[in-house]
Every structure is written in structure tokens, then in C-alpha cells.
Amino acid sequence: MSPRSAAALLLSCGLMLAATGPSPEASLVDTAGGNDWPGFGRTYGEQHYSPLTEINRDSVGKLGLVWSMDLEPGNSATGPIEVDGVLYFARFYSVVNAVDAKTGKLLWTYDPHAPEASGVRLRQGWGSRGVAWWNGKIYTATQDGRLIALDAKTGKPVWAMQTLDQGDPRFISGPPRVFDGKVIIGNAGADEAAIRGYVTAYDAETGKQLWRFWTVPGEPAKGFENAAMEMASKTWAGEWWKHGGGGTVWNSIAYDKDSDTVFIGTGNGSPWNRKVRSAGQGDNLFLCSIVALDAKTGQYKWHYQINPGESWDFNAAMDMHLADLTIDGRARKTLITAPKNGFLYVLDRTNGKLISAEPFVPVTWAKGIDRATGRPIENPGIRYESGVTTISPTPVGAHSWVPSAFSRQTGLVYIPAIELEATYDDRGITAANWKREGGMALNYAVGSSIAFPKGRENSASALVAWDPVRQKQVWRVPTPVHFNGGLLTTGGNLVFQGQMDDRFNAYDATNGKRLWSFDAKAPVIAPPISYRIDGRQYVTVITGNGTSGGFLGSALARYGIDYRTQARRVLTFAIGGTASLPPKERYVATAVEDPEYRADPAAAAHGEAIYNMRCVVCHGGGVAAAGVAPDLRGSPIILSAESFDQVVRDGALVPNGMPRYAELTDKDRAGLRQFFRASAQTLRQSTAAKPAR
């Protein structure tokens, strides 16, 4: 059945409930029309593909900016959607904006005040990666666990559900998905807390909970929720439930209408190290897996586990593209995913069987994936049997949350690929002592330490075009630093991608030739979208480096990216657009004047150790700068113990996204402040040593 006749059938069946706008479902199953972009990956199949052709290889040279809209500071690496000429997106912590897509006029804003409601959960996660639409409502999920339905016309809440229990350390950053009148959301937090993953489906109209599926088994003595959990429990050892287990569904969910199946991608184990988590034994289902569920009931259908006995934060939570392919002369209904572990998997989505898997980046942890068993052929030593191992890819992932895309036109998958290696070290860490390793810190999550090599930031990412039928690379374009932008591919035979160095590019989808490039005056990490209003095709992307900077403080300094100065904007393009952007405010690190500073190396060392445990992910490694959070060397707050304590101990900047750390002692806070002042002193000295700019 063609998409158009499918839509017509839905209408004739009387399933269209909304009096305004498109039918609730037609645009989400639409593969040919493409006027709207109503879901994170546009349609149920999450291809991040627009069939529109007005912007194409011949016309893209005339693509220009139509309008831009400045956004407030805070994470803006988020996927927008478009329905009926209105753009919707959630910036910062689920602050939802509705904008006239033709003009850039702000229609409404809804702020759920998530940082204030989040408590310690504010220490994890990054804000919202996307929103969903259904039948005149916009759905957003918050850091503190609320799922909120807003009236798409007014931005007023229609219903709100708290999806987490009181004191639950989980949080939500992923986009909700909507299908068949249900809205589904997972959550995150297994890197830093002892939790079990789950997804929950709610009635899209009322918010009533319909079903919940847990991804890992709980304590056997309490009984299992279903047969799937009982089956999964046989793959765990020791007292795993004390550690939570993990397997959160923090990002990717897809839906196949034909079989009424929801596919969820599950995350890493909690903690990562199986020796600690599960007595070193078992596959630990359903960690790091694609799990298929009956959409009506949430009942288990099948699973495919990407990394049995997960031990590296290799989760399977990256995009799942549903595509119908012809492989070896056979029509196959496939699910394609490029998870963190560096292999591109093609699964039969009717039964979860592996069709093929090949690496799209250098991979050292496995020789390959056995096509008969579907299991990886692991290289010796990768489970840090000797205590230490260096492998690629890494916990950052060969592919992170920024979307890959599947083109219905070229039949290729496009992957924002990352090439890195990391060293895992669990010497001295045992199941008995691991919790003492450090609270809300990486070592707690890992059950090992983790280190990245220095100096590889410059050439460690690429845009990869991959043929999923032949399992072969078709072309590859290197991109700057170790993180690049999410992807859009179109019927105009184009691939759009942003970069950390402010470029927003369009490539020929067949050969990777760069056909168009725009200076966005800011990093572009978020996924672009495309849609059509009154016959004109638009492309929209939101700028800002998001949260990808914590590991690359020095690289970000090179590109002049900083929390305070970087531009966060909505950019909308069309053929013939002539709008322009103001010049970039280039960041120059400046230390605050501090005449009363006296060196105290012991206190600074104590502070640095705390910094590297608790602050580094947002404020940046190596130097106290990154772009995700302010460069503290230039902050007057470090000059005053009183101001510093108000922020760190009392939470004065929680509304801005700075978590409260009430448990730090006077000595800890004094040490931290001394570390920042010492870092500022180092910067002052290096600035003084250089000639004035």
C-alpha cells in the first residue's frame, strides 16, 4: 500500500481525531510527501530522511539563510520538529519554543523549570534532545522525570505525569516518541546510579499509563514482572540487583506500524565492569540490546544483544533506522543501527536475527560479528583481564546520540562517526570495594578508570556513507575534532551536517562532494530537519556545541568556543535566502584579577581531584574551560568564599543549570576555589608572557 493510500484508509476508517492540522498519524507514516517533520527522525521509521527535492544538487548553491533567532545560554543541541508551518523545539532543560517557520516569529514559550525540580539529578544529563507531536499536542520530558503534553497552539499544559518515583536518581533527556495514540519515553542515569532501565507508554490524550517494560531483571526474591525478566535473570550472576543493572533507554525508539512493534535500544550496564556488576559472568540481558515489544501491551517479542556481558559503556541506544531492503535477492524488512561499538548492524526486524555487521571505524575490541550466532568474536584481553586494556572505540562511542540517517534515494546510511581509543583500568577495584571509589564520579560508574589519549582530537571524526546491503563504505569525509553534527539526508540527493568549526555543509549523497557550506558563526551539532510550507522547501538547524565539549577544552579554545560567547541560534534556510548573521564574538580566555591570591598547592591539589571527579564533564578537561559551562578562571565568583559557597553549597545558580553540591565539606570547597584561582593565576602568567593581541 502506498503511503498516500494508507493515509486515505486511515481517514476513511475515522481514526482522524483532530479538527485542526494534519491527521495525527498521516505525516508520521508519510514516506513520500514530506511536507512536515513531525517526529525526531521525521517518521516512525526514524530515517532522518526528507523526500523533498526542491533543494537538490543543482540548486543547493543558491541555498541561503531566510531568518535566524537568538536563543538564551544553555544547551541548544536539540532536534526540532515542524508541523503545519510551526517549528517546535526544547532548548536548555525542556524549555519548549514554538516558532513560525516562515518568519522566525516566536509564538510561545513553555518553561517547566526543570533545573529547580531536579535536585541531584541536575548533575547528570544535559537537557532535552527533542520533542514529539501528536494530534495538536507537543510532548516534552524533563530532567526531573515529568512527561508533559502541551497544547500546540498555545503552549499551555494539557497534562503532566511524573514518570519517576520520589528520590529516583534517573533523569530524562531523550525525545519522547508517539505512535498509535501512545507516547513512550525511557530515561537515563545508569552511568552514575544503581538503577534498572525501563520504558513506559502513556495514553497521548490523557497521560494515563498504559504499560511499562523493564529492561533488566530486579531482585529475584521480589518476583519478576514477566517471563522476559525471568528469562533475562538467568543471564545474570551474583547480587546484580544491588547494583541496579542499567540498560536504560535514553535515546533511541522506533515503531513499525505494519507489525505494531516498538523497538527500543538499551544502554550500558551499571556499573560498566561486569566483574563488579555480575560476578564476571553472563550475557546480562537486556543490556546493550535492541528489544522488540508489542506496541499494544509492551510484551517482549524478541531481542538482539549487541555486546553480551557489556563492560565498556558500549550501549545500543543509537538511532534505529527501519528500512525495507533487497539483500541477496530477497526483500528484507530491516533495522539498521550504528551503535557505540563501531559496527553497522543490519537486523531482520521481524525476528531480531542478524543479517550482517561490519565495522565503520577502526575497531580493536572484536575480530568481527559471527553471522551464524550473532555474537561478537571478542579479542583477547578486552575484558581487562590483566587489569588494563586499551581499545577502540570508546565510551564516547563510534557514534553518539547525534543522529545518523538513511536515504531512501541512495539506499545508504550516513553516520557521524568518531574515532578514538580509551584505556580501561580496574586494578585494585573489586566487587567488594568499588563503591568506595568515589560517589557520583566516573569511577563509580565504570568499576574501572578510563583515560583518553592526548593529541588525537584533531582528526578523529568523519562523515561516513555506508552501503548496508553490501556492508561497505561508499565514501568518507574527515571532520574536525572528535565530535561532529547530526545528519539529515534528502530526496534532493543531499546530506546536511554541521561541524564544531562553525561550518554547516551539504554534500552530494552519492559521492561525498561538498556542494555548499555556510559559516554558522557557532558550532553546529544538532540534527537538521527539512519541511515544506506553501510549496517552498526549508532546512532548519539549531547552533551551539551542546554538551560535546567536556572532553575537548583545548580544542574548543582553538575554535573560540565558550559558554558565554558562543551563539545559540535557530537558523532556517531556503533557496534564494539572503539573511546574514552578525560577526562571531571570538572567545579569548581571560583570568579574573586576583591581587589577594596566595598559592596553596596542597589545597589546589585537593580541589583538582574533586574537580576531576565532579566538575570536569561540564567545565572541561585539562583547563577550566569547555563551552558547556562557564570558564571559571574568568568568574568573579571564585574571588569570594561567600559567593562560591552560595553557588556550590547552596545552589544559587541551579536555575542556570549549575547543580548544588551540599555534601562537599568546607575543606573541599576551599580546595576547589583554590584550584580555580591557581588556574586563573597560570592563565594570567601565560597571558602576561605573550605580546598583547
3-state SS, residue 280:
coil
Q: Give the closest residue to 435 by CA, choosing from 423, 450, 424, 445.
A: 445
Q: Which of 541, 539, 543 is nearest to 527 (CA)?
A: 541
In whole angstroms, the minimum distance from the beta carbon of 146 to Ca ion comes to 23
**30-60 as b/e: b if 16+ CB within 10 A:** bbeebbbbbbbbbbbbbbbbbbbbbbbbebb
DSSP 95-154: EEEEEETTT--EEEEE---HHHHHGGGGGS--S--B-EEETTEEEEE-TTSEEEEEETTT
| Cα-only R_g, the chain | 24
Nearer to Ca ion, 77 or 287 (CB): 287
Give, as ranges, the residues between 392 and 411 that touch Ca ion (CB under 5 A). Answer: none
Nearer to Ca ion, 193 or 254 (CB): 193
> Between residues 313 and 668, which has the closer beta carbon with respect to Ca ion?
313
Among residues 246 and 298, whose Cβ is nearest to Ca ion? Answer: 246
Q: How many CA atoms lie within 13 A of 473 on its CB side?
A: 14
Least Å distance, CB 397 to Ca ion, is 9
Nearer to Ca ion, 155 or 438 (CB): 438
CB of 193 or CB of 232, closer to Ca ion: 193
User: Cell numbers 562532494 label which residue?
Assistant: 513
The only residue of 268, 407, 410, 537 in contact with Ca ion, by rule CB under 5 A: 268
Which is nearer to Ca ion, 450 or 625 (by Cβ)?
Answer: 450
Q: Nearest approach, Cβ of 372 to Ca ion (angstroms)?
A: 30
**Joined grid coordinates for residue 165:** 518515583
Over the window 562 to 601, marking each residue x when it contacts Ca ion by CB under 5 A and - when it does not, the resulting string is: ----------------------------------------
x-or-dash string of contact with Ca ion, 317-336, rule CB under 5 A:
--------------------
Is the CB of residue 617 less than 8 Å from the CB of residue 550? yes
- The distance of closest approach from Cβ of residue 546 to Ca ion in the complex, given in angstroms and rounded to an integer, is 16
Q: Which of 483, 512, 475 is nearest to 499 (CA)?
A: 483
Residue 286 Cβ, how far from Ca ion at the closest point, in Å?
Answer: 15
Q: How far is CA 244 from each of CA 99, 247, 288, 317, 687, rounded to the nearest angstrom?
A: 41, 9, 15, 18, 48
**Grid coordinates in use for 142?**
524533563
The nearest distance, CB 195 to Ca ion, in angstroms, is 12
Helix (H, G, I), strand (E, B) or coil at 674: helix
**How many C-beta atoms surround the C-beta of residue 690 within 10 A?**
7
Residue with smaller CB distance to Ca ion, 313 or 358: 313
Nearest-approach distance from CB 287 to Ca ion, in angstroms: 11
Binding track, positions 296-315, relative to Ca ion; x by CB under 5 A: -----------------x--
Instruction: Using the minimum distance from each CB to Ca ion, give the nearer residue, 313 or 631.
Output: 313
Shortest CB 244 distance to Ca ion, Å = 13
**Cβ closest to Ca ion, residue 21 vs residue 397:** 397
* Site membership for Ca ion, residue 499 (CB under 5 A): no
Q: Shortest gap between Cβ of 451 and Ca ion (angstroms)?
A: 16
Total of chain residues touching Ca ion, rule CB under 5 A: 3
8 Å CB contact between 409 and 34: no
Catalytic residue of the set 313, 426, 501, 502: 313
- The dihedral through the CA atoms of 278, 280, 283, 289 has a sign that is positive
Distances (CA, A) of 650 to 93, 345, 653, 658: 20, 47, 9, 11
Site string for Ca ion, 122-161 (x = CB under 5 A): ----------------------------------------
CB-CB contact of 488 with 539 (8 Å):
yes
Selected range binding Ca ion among 78-86, 265-273, 428-436, 676-684, rule: CB under 5 A: 265-273
Nearer to Ca ion, 270 or 635 (CB): 270
Segment interacting with Ca ion, rule: CB under 5 A, options 59-67, 267-275, 296-304, 403-411: 267-275
User: CA distances (Å), 48 to each of 38, 267, 515, in order?
Assistant: 11, 22, 20
Handedness of CA 72, 76, 81, 85 (dihedral sign): positive
- Please name the residues in contact with 321: beta carbons below 8 A apart, sequence gap of 6 or more: 41, 45, 46, 47, 48, 254, 335, 336, 337, 404, 405, 406, 413
Of 260-268, 290-298, 589-597, 618-626: span binding Ca ion (CB under 5 A): 260-268
CA-to-CA distance for 174 and 197, rounded, in angstroms? 13
Contact status, residue 344 vs residue 338, Cβ threshold 8 Å: yes
Q: How far is the CB of 314 from Ca ion (least distance, A)?
A: 9
Per CB under 5 A, the segment of 268-276, 299-307, 436-444, 458-466 that binds Ca ion is: 268-276
The residues in 167-196 that bind Ca ion, with binding defined as CB under 5 A, are 191
Cα separation, 584 vs 560, whole angstroms: 9
For the beta carbon of residue 22, count every other beta carbon within 10 angstroms. Answer: 21
Three-state DSSP class for residue 254: strand
Pairing mode of beta strands 198-203, 209-214: antiparallel
Closer residue to Ca ion in complex, CB, 60/402:
402
Which one-letter DSSP state was computed for residue 39? S
C-beta of 445: minimal distance to Ca ion in Å?
7
Q: Is 313 a catalytic residue?
A: yes
φ, ψ of residue 666 to 5 degrees: the values are -55, -40
Segment contacting Ca ion by CB under 5 A, of 23-31, 174-182, 263-271, 289-297: 263-271
Q: Least distance (Å) from Ca ion to the CB of residue 315? A: 6
Distance between CA 157 and CA 137 in Å, rounded? 9
Chain positions contacting Ca ion, by CB under 5 A: 191, 268, 313
Catalytic sites, residue numbers: 313
